[in-house]
Amino acid sequence: MKKAIMLGAAATVLSLSASAWAHVPEGQVFAAWQWPTNQLPNLDGDISEWNALPQEYWVDIFQTSVAEGNVGGAVDTANLNFRFAMGWNDDLDRIYYAIDRFDDVWDRDGGGFGCCGQDDSQEVGLDSDHSGDFFWAFEGTDEELKRNRGRQAQTGHYRWPALAPFGWYWFWMSSADWHDKEPYSCCPTSYTLNGTHGSEATLQAEWYTVGWDDFNYEGPDVSIRHDFVEGEIVGAGLQVVDNDNGPAEDDPRTSKWVLGGQSDIFGNASSFSDFILLPVDTARLPTAVENDTWGNIKASFAQ
């Protein structure tokens, strides 16, 4: 694990010496906003509480590039647009995510068009202890492959609505069947989708996962959880999958928009990006009273 460093709460997207981290984009560290335990995000698919984050804490499509599919293609926000943010909580040792996405052709039917029935997706990999290296094992017996794939970093296609056969959090390299349930991750319902399969849509989603220093598909009792610590750098790989970007030879409609632009982000944590677990930024958080008032106002609108 890299030695944790402390940086001021006013940190924006941080430029550090390029030699300090091998991860990509080189020399950049992104922000992971700290949610205090008494003001955790309400995972209801209304991501307005994430407006507490300054704009520079969000990763947007202009900071990514196509690593698979229409490689070199320019950003066209009429085709795909998104912003993504990471948060964390110290007591519960959770990493939170939020995404806000526009897509001109929404693909979510559990199969159908797009490569391999994968559907439109946000795939996020998490290397909690920043160990880097491949977490997709290439060699070994069947049992060794099962044990080692996803062992020291985890990745998943997060997709809503949760549909068979893979649900809302498809940890595709693992045969685990428990990683996508509370208290290890949540939620299959924490999204708002305006639109339907095959048409223009916007998606807002917010969710959490815990991290694993040693993930064992057999269960949490034989796995080792990561204890997230303020100031620590974690590795995270973001790729946003859009299935209406063809043509390409073997995968006619899929493009993968990757932070850092690395095509092996699916299984190589050394191609992840660095995120720093920031201190609580009290000045940007609504006060408890404001929080309560805001909650009541929203509740009254909903009635």
**Token digits for 193?**
């989708």
The answer to whether 110 and 161 have CB atoms below 8 angstroms apart is: no
Task: Report how far residue 152's alpha carbon sits from residue 229's, in angstroms, rounded to the nearest whole number.
Answer: 18
- Dist. CA 4–CA 261, nearest whole Å: 26
Q: Do residues 212 and 185 make contact, with C-beta atoms less than 8 angstroms apart?
A: no
Q: Which of residues 199-258 bind Ca ion (CB under 5 A)?
A: 242, 244
Write down the H helix ranges in the chain.
142-148, 288-302
Of the pair 131, 263, the CB lying nearest Ca ion is at 131
Cβ proximity to Ca ion, 113 vs 172, nearer residue:
113
> Rule CB under 5 A: is residue 189 a binding residue for Ca ion?
no
Does residue 180 interact with Ca ion by CB under 5 A? no
Structure tokens at 248: 């390409």
Query: Residue with CB nearest Ca ion?
Result: 131
Q: Which of 2, 11, 25, 46 binds Ca ion (CB under 5 A)?
A: 46
Whichever of 100 and 103 has its CB closer to Ca ion, that residue is: 103
* Smallest separation (angstroms) from Ca ion to the CB of 8: 27
Q: How far is the CB of 206 from Ca ion (least distance, A)?
A: 5
- Candidates 116-124, 155-163, 173-181, 276-284; binding stretch for Ca ion (CB under 5 A): 116-124
Toward Ca ion, which CB reaches closer, 153 or 187? 153
Whether residue 72 contacts residue 263, with contact meaning beta carbons closer than 8 Å, is answered with no
Angle CA 14–20–21, to nearest 5: 80
Out of 68, 100, 120, 274, which residue is the one contacting Ca ion (CB under 5 A)?
120
By CB under 5 A, tell whether 131 contacts Ca ion: yes
Give the torsion through C-alpha atoms of 41, 199, 122, 218, to 10 deg.
90
By CB under 5 A, residue 129 contacts Ca ion: yes
The 3-class SS string of 148-217 reads HCCCCCEEEEEEEEEECCCEEEECCCCCCCCCCCCCCEECCCCEEEECCCCCCEEEEEEEEEECEEECCC
Contact status: 42 vs Ca ion (CB under 5 A): yes
Find out whether 60 and 83 touch, Cβ atoms under 8 Å. yes
Closest CB 207 distance from Ca ion, rounded Å: 10
Among residues 44 and 93, whose Cβ is nearest to Ca ion? 44
Q: Which of 60, 104, 109, 264 binds Ca ion (CB under 5 A)?
A: 104
Q: Does 109 bind Ca ion (CB under 5 A)?
A: no
Interface residues with Ca ion (CB under 5 A)? 42, 44, 46, 79-80, 103-105, 107, 120, 127, 129, 131, 152-153, 242, 244
